[in-house]
Chain A
Amino acid sequence: MKTVQVFLVMLLVVTTVNAQKPNPTRSGLPITLSLFSESISLPTFKHIQTGGIGIKIGTELYYRNRPGSQLIQTLNVGYYHHPRVQTGFFVNSEFGFRKYVGSLYVDAFLGGGTLLVRPVSPSYTQDSNSGEYRKAPATQLKFMPTISAGLGYRFHHRTTVFTRYELFGEMPFREILLPHQALHLGTRFLFN
């Protein structure tokens, strides 16, 4: 499973490198910063529950950058703290499309990455020789598939504010994955 995770992350890195830089007439790196609320849940707007809070920071590279639309590759790092359950630190990349209507835009992304999870509860492993139980390392490396959709507003000076609904998973988890949802509130600006 670890090999698969490494392969998927490598794939994301390669595709990210292949993406083009933003419009050269506007210098600076686009920086996306968002705060999000996270919860372990199936996709739902009806019964959104409180869980953890997190922060995500990243940049965008563009395969296609037109006035009305963009084909985007993102590269992000983030962290969330879910009290009494777990903390997570992640590095991921997403591929997506953004459509502008005036100053408003909608976008959607699909991606994946690596999630370093640290459950709050301790884990133990059995020594095969003695049968005794010893504390196991607290952190676990997981594959993190993501899918998201967002809505944003671009100001004249190119800074944007946005909200985004994201679903991400922890894999492997038992049979398939442990689903999480996150509601982001963020901004994007050019960093000179």
Chain B
Amino acid sequence: MKKQLIFSAFAALLLIACETDPVLKPTTEPGSTDEYANHPKNQLYQKELGDFRRKWNIPGSLMLLKRADEPVWIGAVGKSNLEHQTDLRITDLFRTGSITKALVATVVMKMKEEGQLRLEDNLAALLPEMNGNIPDAQTITVRHLLAHTSGIVDPTNDDLQYQLDLLNNPHRRVQQSTDEILQRYVYGRALVFQPGDRSQYSNTNFWLLGKVIEKIRGKRLQTVLEEVIFTPFGLTHSYLDRRDDRNVVRGYNDFYANGKLMDVTAIDRADADGQANGGLVSTAGDLLKFSEAFFAGKIIRPASVQEMMTIQPVRNGVNEYGLGLESYSSTELGMGWGHNGTLLGVDANWFYFPDKKALYVIFNNNGGGSDKSFVEKLLK
């Protein structure tokens, strides 16, 4: 009887162990990428994208190419959802990760143009609650935040406990506000360097900028982005707020380093959605619209765009960052400006090369990283 009880208890435990979270089916049907079939280089681009996807073990890759002498081309290969074997479509929504920073920085520059803040305003003046919580808040400026020269710690990349907490309970991270994250992982920690001394990427800079925007505008960041960028420039598929949107492409990663790709969408949602540092959900088409408006000086003045595309000086070492924009030095295309976007299950690039008037966007749903330099050859 005792043995039977023990056996039954273990059988029950093992049955519980078989529970898995369902991967919800997308609500829309898969479409085709035939829209660009008549593009003069469709075959070449499609082949290059297919080879790239296969080489880097990516379930689904989407690429947008725009050269000065050619119409735009968008192609997609592979799957957006492996559970349901859903084909990736050129119109699919991706989590863009840190590409978000370029849009948030654009809003900051717009506010500067409207006289709502200055780049030399300090953090303590803009957010008095940072006094005593972040060292040297009086000397950290908006410019330092935009250029990643503030020296503030970056829990998402450098704090193992932050990363383990995220794995331990993604659902809890979803429920945490930016203030709670700052309280737990940032406040009271020493600066990595004195503001302006060096450059070191930190997502905290953009959490703080998000707070500054919301405070000055008195509105949620999503609403401000709608007012400044999404609505006026027709980015009808982009959003920042947290939504239970099953049409967003799912993310995968060789999480256990065993050659298998695990669905890490829940972790990406928890880590990025709704956040000023990486929460933008968008499409390649919407990023094209943003690029055309932004680099043409239609969202903010050309002088402000130029300022964002200026590498910010540091006292020690080198910097490759402008104001919310990364530089990309290409031997083929000259200096490019845009941003990478990396989450556990996302590897994205958005870069514009002014000398060639060339633009590319790549979305991959394997966050393990890849060499995208083949694009330079295609845009040359």
Q: Do A and B come from one complex?
A: yes
The interface residues of chain B lying within 8 Å CB-to-CB of A51 are 168-169
By the criterion of a CB under 8 Å from any partner CB, how many residues of chain B are at the interface? 40
Are B82 and A120 within 8 A (Cβ)? Answer: no
Residues of A that sit less than 8 Å from B by CB: 39-42, 44, 47, 49-51, 55, 79, 81-82, 84-85, 87, 89, 118-126, 131, 133, 135-136, 138, 140, 172-174, 178-179
Q: Considering the complex, which residues of chain B in the window 5-38 have a beta carbon less than 8 Å from any beta carbon of chain A?
A: 10, 13-14, 16-21, 23
Are B264 and A121 within 8 A (Cβ)? Answer: yes
What would 10 more interface pairs be, CB under 8 Å, given A85-B168, A87-B19, A122-B20? A42-B161, A47-B161, A49-B168, A81-B16, A87-B17, A89-B14, A119-B256, A123-B260, A124-B262, A126-B57
| Bound Cα distance A136, B259 (Å) | 10
Given that A42-B160, A84-B21 are known contacts, is A140 also in contact with B258, CB under 8 Å in the complex? yes
Are A89 and B17 within 8 A (Cβ)? Answer: yes
| Bound Cα distance A81, B263 (Å) | 19
User: Could you tell me the distance in whole angstroms from the C-beta of A45 to the nearest C-beta in chain B?
Assistant: 13
B179 at the interface (CB under 8 A from A): no
Instruction: Give the 4 A-B residue pairs with the shortest CB-CB distance, closest first.
Output: A87-B17, A40-B168, A123-B260, A121-B263
Residue from B16, B172, B256 with most neighbouring chain A CB atoms (10 Å) = B256
Q: What are 14 A-B contacts with C-beta separation under 8 Å?
A: A40-B164, A42-B160, A47-B161, A55-B13, A79-B10, A87-B16, A119-B262, A120-B21, A121-B266, A123-B256, A123-B261, A123-B262, A138-B20, A172-B256
User: Could you tell me the distance in whole angstroms from the C-beta of A13 to the nearest C-beta in chain B?
Assistant: 21
User: Could you tell me the distance in whole angstroms from the C-beta of B80 to the nearest C-beta in chain A?
Assistant: 12
Q: Considering the complex, which residues of chain B in the window 57-87 have a beta carbon less than 8 Å from any beta carbon of chain A?
A: 57, 59, 79, 82-83
| Bound Cα distance A179, B167 (Å) | 11
User: Could you tell me the distance in whole angstroms from the C-beta of B150 to the nearest C-beta in chain A?
Assistant: 25
The interface residues of chain A lying within 8 Å CB-to-CB of B380 are none
Residues of B that sit less than 8 Å from A by CB: 10, 13-14, 16-21, 23, 54, 57, 59, 79, 82-83, 160-161, 164-165, 167-172, 184, 252, 255-266
The interface residues of chain B lying within 8 Å CB-to-CB of A121 are 20-21, 262-266
| Bound Cα distance A40, B169 (Å) | 9
Are A133 and B82 within 8 A (Cβ)? Answer: yes
The interface residues of chain A lying within 8 Å CB-to-CB of B17 are 79, 81, 87, 89, 118
Residue of chain B at shortest CB distance from A54:
B13
Are B20 and A41 within 8 A (Cβ)? Answer: no
Out of B171, B255, B257, B260, name the residue touching A125 (CB < 8 Å). Answer: B260
Are B164 and A179 within 8 A (Cβ)? Answer: yes
